[in-house]
């Protein structure tokens, strides 16, 4: 017999054991293109002291790692006010810290909620709610570009509509660069959102885990977007800096989700203290922190790694775009960040088999992809407004993109698409 929550968690999917990653030679794991380089760096640079076998400095990030992270973020995020190591708190991944944000900004089971645009990273729906007693309010921006400053009005409308239903919005969560749309928020939109949060007296939490996975188009006709951290904007006259929090981690830019390291950067001492108090439940490994510190301290290496990553991401994106164009599949063309493309497979939904229920048809299509060895996150999992969207990962070696084999990212699973989609009965 389980508790009610235990019984409901028992129905939620999770990864356990071997994941079917693809490589034609040795079947290595490999969503990210720089993992070989990183593994080599770690194997040649890391020796561990016995201190790593202890609790070390506690559960919130070693001084060495927080110093190295501050240096890294100050170099790459160009913050208006430099980031002090004391503003940084580490935990075992951004996943846990997203939950912590919900825990420390919202009261449980009291109509407290977090505002998000959609589509958005699907795991937020679990990470922020499963253990917190907090609900999520998704804002539909309709035809508005969710990165333009016009989206601010949509968020305000979402806030007011929720309020009218008795929902207390406590925070706005954005993902910048965006997962799954791969776009960066322009500075003026960030300022608009910061002003909105200031006027409503709520926190703004910016998940910037893809901050340095932004590649540049080598085509003059396609302007590259620049990543602007929310910390790059001087909050003076816009918002109390204590309402602004940033999430970052090793999982994406370094291709090292296995390290299980994420951090939150906040100028709010009370928020930071609360976060640190509960980080004991998601403490990072001392070994992982040693490795990450070693990497981040070597900024020359980091620059080289990121340059390589950007080159390979651009190549992967161009290969995927080319294959999709040949297959006549529509996708979200904007953006130059992250590892994914947002496909529109609405024309392929088997509506005739689901009595016209398009969400059921999306699930059916997804099942057929899975059975055929092609696994992509669905639009439904990413809170898409319309059915038929799928998230395709292109950050694989080219042969994998071309062959369309299975690999896994997070617990939703992602895969490159077979390109013979049109005309095929899935």
Ligand X SMILES: Cc1ncc(COP(=O)(O)O)c(C=O)c1O
Q: What track of x and - describes contact with ligand X for positions 153 through 172 (by CB under 6 A)?
A: --------------------
Place of tokens 């593994």: 39
By CB under 6 A, is residue 91 in contact with ligand X? no
Span of 28-36, 87-95, 323-331, 387-395 interacting with ligand X by CB under 6 A: 87-95
Taking residue 184's Cβ as centre, other Cβ atoms within 10 Å add up to 27
3-state secondary structure at position 109 = coil
Q: What track of x and - describes contact with ligand X for positions 353 through 392 (by CB under 6 A)?
A: ----------------------------------------
Residue from 158, 235, 249, 284 binding ligand X (CB under 6 A): 249
Q: How many residues bind ligand X (CB under 6 A)?
A: 13
CA distance 363 to 368: 9
Nearer of residues 56 and 177 to ligand X, judged by Cβ: 177
Q: How far is the CB of 179 from ligand X (least distance, A)?
A: 4
Spatial CA neighbour of 245 closest among 260, 265, 220 = 265
- Mention every residue, 6+ apart, whose C-beta is less than 8 A from residue 349: 358, 361, 362, 365, 387, 388
Spatial CA neighbour of 165 closest among 125, 203, 111 = 111
Q: How far is the CB of 178 from ligand X (least distance, A)?
A: 8
**C-alpha distances in Å from residue 17, one per residue of 14, 20, 288, 399, 410:** 10, 10, 21, 26, 13
Nearer of residues 251 and 275 to ligand X, judged by Cβ: 251
Nearer of residues 209 and 230 to ligand X, judged by Cβ: 209
Span of 104-112, 249-257, 282-290, 415-423 interacting with ligand X by CB under 6 A: 249-257
- The alpha carbon of residue 124 and the mean position of all alpha carbons in its chain are separated, in whole angstroms, by 9
Span of 88-96, 154-162, 192-200, 352-360 interacting with ligand X by CB under 6 A: 88-96
Nearer of residues 241 and 249 to ligand X, judged by Cβ: 249
**C-alpha distances in Å from residue 43, one per residue of 36, 153, 255:** 11, 50, 16
The string of DSSP codes covering 212-259 is: T-B---S-TTSPPP----GGGS--TTT--GGGEEEEEESTTTTS-GGG
Residues pairing with 277 in the sheet = none
Q: How far is the CB of 138 from ligand X (least distance, A)?
A: 15
Q: How far is the CB of 260 from ligand X (least distance, A)?
A: 7
Phi-psi label, residue 423: left if phi above 0, alpha if psi -120 to 50, beta otherwise: left
Nearer of residues 262 and 413 to ligand X, judged by Cβ: 262
Residue number of the CB atom closest to ligand X:
93
By CB under 6 A, is residue 94 in contact with ligand X? yes
Interacting residues with ligand X between 254 and 293 (CB under 6 A): 257, 262
Nearer of residues 31 and 349 to ligand X, judged by Cβ: 31
Q: How far is the CB of 399 from ligand X (least distance, A)?
A: 24
- The alpha carbon of residue 45 and the mean position of all alpha carbons in its chain are separated, in whole angstroms, by 28
By CB under 6 A, is residue 148 in contact with ligand X? no
Nearer of residues 72 and 200 to ligand X, judged by Cβ: 72
Residue from 189, 229, 243, 251 binding ligand X (CB under 6 A): 251
By CB under 6 A, is residue 181 in contact with ligand X? no
Q: How far is the CB of 262 from ligand X (least distance, A)?
A: 4
Spatial CA neighbour of 363 closest among 14, 353, 373, 392 = 353
Residue from 121, 227, 394, 407 binding ligand X (CB under 6 A): 121
CA distance 101 to 103: 5
- Residue 74 · residue 83 · CB < 8 Å: yes
Nearer of residues 162 and 181 to ligand X, judged by Cβ: 181
Residue from 191, 209, 265, 375 binding ligand X (CB under 6 A): 209
Angle CA 310–312–316, to nearest 5 = 115
Taking residue 314's Cβ as centre, other Cβ atoms within 10 Å add up to 17
By CB under 6 A, is residue 207 in contact with ligand X? yes
CA distance 69 to 63: 10
Residues that bind ligand X (CB under 6 A): 93-95, 121, 175, 179, 207, 209, 249, 251, 257, 262, 410
């Amino acid at each position: 017999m389980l508790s009610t929550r235990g019984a409901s968690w028992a129905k939620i999917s999770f990864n356990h054991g071997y994941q079917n990653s693809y490589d034609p030679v040795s079947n290595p794991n490999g969503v990210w293109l720089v993992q070989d380089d990183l593994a080599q760096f770690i194997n040649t640079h890391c020796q561990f002291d016995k201190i790593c076998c202890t609790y070390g400095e506690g559960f919130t990030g070693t001084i060495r790692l927080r110093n190295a992270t501050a240096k890294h973020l100050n170099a790459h995020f160009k913050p208006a006010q430099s980031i002090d190591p004391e503003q940084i708190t580490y935990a075992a991944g951004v996943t846990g810290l997203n939950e912590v944000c919900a825990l420390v900004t919202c009261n449980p089971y009291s109509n407290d909620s977090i505002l998000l645009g959609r589509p958005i990273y699907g795991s937020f729906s679990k990470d922020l709610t499963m253990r917190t007693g907090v609900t999520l309010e998704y804002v539909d921006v309709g035809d508005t570009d969710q990165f333009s400053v016009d989206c601010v009005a949509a968020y305000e409308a979402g806030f007011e509509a929720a309020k009218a239903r008795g929902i207390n919005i406590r925070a706005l969560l954005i993902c910048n660069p965006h997962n799954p749309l791969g776009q960066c928020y322009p500075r003026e939109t960030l300022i608009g959102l910061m002003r909105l949060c200031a006027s409503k007296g709520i926190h703004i939490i910016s998940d910037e885990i893809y901050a340095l996975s932004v590649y540049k188009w080598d085509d003059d006709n396609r302007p590259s977007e620049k990543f602007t951290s929310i910390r790059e904007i001087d909050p003076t006259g816009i918002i109390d800096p204590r309402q602004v929090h940033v999430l970052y981690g090793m999982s994406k830019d370094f291709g090292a989700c296995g390290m299980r390291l994420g951090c939150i950067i906040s100028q709010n001492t009370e928020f930071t203290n609360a976060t640190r108090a509960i980080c004991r439940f998601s403490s990072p490994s001392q070994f992982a922190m040693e490795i990450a510190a070693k990497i981040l301290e070597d900024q020359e290496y980091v620059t080289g790694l990121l340059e390589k990553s950007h080159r390979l991401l651009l190549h992967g994106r161009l290969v995927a775009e080319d294959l999709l164009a040949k297959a006549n599949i529509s996708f979200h063309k904007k953006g130059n960040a992250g590892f994914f493309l947002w496909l529109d497979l609405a024309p392929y939904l088997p509506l005739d088999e689901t009595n016209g229920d398009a969400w059921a048809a999306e699930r059916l299509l997804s099942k057929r992809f899975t059975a055929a060895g092609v696994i992509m996150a669905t639009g439904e999992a990413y809170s898409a407004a319309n059915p038929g969207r799928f998230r395709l990962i292109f950050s694989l070696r080219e042969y994998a993109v071309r062959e369309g084999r299975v690999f896994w990212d997070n617990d939703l699973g992602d895969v490159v698409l077979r390109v013979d989609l049109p005309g095929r009965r899935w």
